[in-house]
């Protein structure tokens, strides 16, 4: 029996269904997928159209705290927040659960966008019958939306995408060759805003070179792990987060502060999102191996080398093989990650012919200075999808959907119904 409860002016109902691990083998192993229905109080019995929300990631569960966009959505939709397979209250995939499997990599090959879409189609049949529903995809959720339009467009009434138009072709290393210059540009903007932080960042790196420093979780903080804090540059408070961390970095002159180490521990750990690290590069693979694409492309950008004593530059959304040596949440997944990085049999995620002949209204916001999703690649994808309207803006960062209250969603809804 679904569990229903009320929170402020919203009513929530929990749903769990059983789906095949491998949708091509419906009689084989199964997993559970969880989703939370949200409707405005007093409208539970209304015949509202469904809106499926797909979170960014990969490997992130649906949001737990109602954001402004959700209140805007429930004015006219019955919203379904999906915990994509392996996340949240869906059957979890992490170091504990994967340890009991004979072949974790083979298991996780079924956790990409194509499987997520097929899970969604079973949910749609369970909740909405044969009625198509609307879709809102944030970041990686937008990648899933293009896969949805490729595999099952008949299930969609309209699609709205926030910062998530994926490259439809190309190799994973192309993604990172485009990403590193964007990350360097964000570094320049950060240090232009907070020029004093350049010396502090260098001081931290030099300190980490001189002596071993351990985070509260017990693992060592290395200079290269410190550099991964640049992933925060892509959000609304993109530069302030790291600045406020650095300004309290030292307790005195020779020791990093407990406040700094505690906050860094929370920011660099993948304990909450292990699938993000394991499947991030795989989300770009179509018929070839990633081969640790970000790591291979890094050699073309010596600006990130902190060994020579120059300016410190922080990484962005890159996953490196050494993550699986230094993060306790990922260490047990090292062999699995290596097998996935070497996998060459990833199926295609996008049907170019179907997308070029698409008839489902699609509205997408492209953030001009997006750290995570390349603007030029997004524009090429927008041009390859029929009936897609795009809005390019520098008013918001990558998290504009949540940071804007309901403004971004409101415009996307209007565009989709043009």
Retrieve residue 354's tokens.
């179907």
Cβ-contact 152, 121 below 8 angstroms: yes
Q: Is 370 a catalytic residue?
A: yes
Which residue's entry shows tokens 């505690």? 262
Retrieve residue 96's tokens.
């504990």
The one catalytic residue among 139, 150, 378, 402: 139
Taking the CA atoms of 121, 127, 128 and 133 in sequence, report the sign of the dihedral they define.
negative
Instruction: Give the residue from 167, 165, 159, 139 showing the smallest Cα distance to 55.
Output: 139
Neighbours of 365 (CB within 10 A): 27
Taking the CA atoms of 187, 198, 302 and 172 in sequence, report the sign of the dihedral they define.
negative
Contacts of 339 (CB under 8 A, 6+ apart): 105
The Cα 373–Cα 377 span in angstroms is: 8
The one catalytic residue among 186, 273, 295, 398: 398
Cβ-contact 74, 56 below 8 angstroms: no
The Cα 198–Cα 186 span in angstroms is: 14
Is omega for the bond preceding 309 within 30 degrees of 0, making it cis? Answer: no
Taking the CA atoms of 133, 82, 416 and 354 in sequence, report the sign of the dihedral they define.
negative
Which residue's entry shows tokens 């603007």? 375
Q: What is the DSSP letter of 68?
A: H
The one catalytic residue among 370, 390, 399, 404: 370
Cβ-contact 151, 117 below 8 angstroms: yes
Cβ-contact 224, 268 below 8 angstroms: no
Catalytic residues: 139, 370, 398
């Amino acid at each position: 029996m679904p569990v229903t409860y009320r929170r402020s002016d919203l009513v929530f109902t929990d749903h769990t269904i059983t789906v095949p691990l491998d949708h091509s083998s419906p009689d084989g192993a199964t997993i559970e997928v969880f989703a939370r229905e949200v409707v405005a109080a007093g409208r539970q019995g209304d015949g509202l159209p469904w809106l499926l929300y797909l979170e960014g990631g990969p490997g992130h569960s649906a949001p737990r705290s109602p954001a402004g966009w959700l209140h805007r959505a429930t004015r006219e939709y019955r919203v379904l927040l999906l915990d994509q397979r392996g996340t949240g209250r869906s059957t979890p995939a992490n170091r504990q659960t994967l340890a009991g499997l004979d072949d974790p990599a083979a298991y996780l090959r079924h956790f990409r966008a194509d499987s997520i879409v097929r899970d969604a189609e079973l949910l749609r049949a369970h909740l909405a019958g044969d009625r198509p529903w609307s879709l809102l995809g944030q970041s990686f959720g937008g990648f899933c939306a293009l896969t949805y339009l490729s595999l099952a467009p008949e299930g969609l009434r309209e699609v709205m995408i926030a910062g998530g138009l994926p490259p439809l072709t190309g190799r994973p290393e192309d993604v990172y060759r485009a990403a590193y210059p964007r990350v360097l540009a964000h570094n320049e903007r950060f240090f232009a805003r907070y020029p004093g932080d350049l010396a502090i960042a260098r001081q931290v790196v030099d300190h980490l070179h001189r002596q071993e420093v351990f985070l509260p979780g017990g693992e060592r903080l290395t200079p290269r792990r410190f550099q991964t804090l640049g992933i925060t540059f892509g959000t609304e408070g993109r530069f302030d987060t790291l600045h406020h961390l650095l300004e309290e970095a030292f307790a005195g002159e020779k020791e990093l502060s407990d406040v700094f180490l505690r906050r860094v521990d929370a920011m660099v750990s993948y304990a909450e999102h292990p699938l993000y690290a394991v499947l991030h590069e795989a989300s770009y693979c179509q018929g070839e191996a990633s081969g640790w694409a970000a790591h291979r492309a890094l050699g073309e950008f010596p600006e990130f080398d902190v060994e020579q004593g120059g300016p410190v530059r922080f990484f962005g959304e890159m996953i490196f093989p050494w993550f699986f040596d230094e993060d306790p949440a990922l260490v047990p997944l090292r062999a699995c990650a290596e097998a996935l990085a070497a996998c060459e049999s990833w199926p295609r995620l996008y049907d170019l012919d179907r997308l070029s002949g698409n008839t489902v209204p699609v509205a997408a916001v492209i953030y001009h200075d997006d750290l995570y999703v390349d603007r030029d690649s997004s524009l090429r994808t927008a041009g390859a999808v029929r009936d897609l309207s795009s809005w390019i803006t520098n008013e918001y960062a990558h998290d504009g959907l949540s940071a804007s209250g309901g403004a971004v969603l409101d415009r996307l809804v209007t565009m989709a119904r043009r």
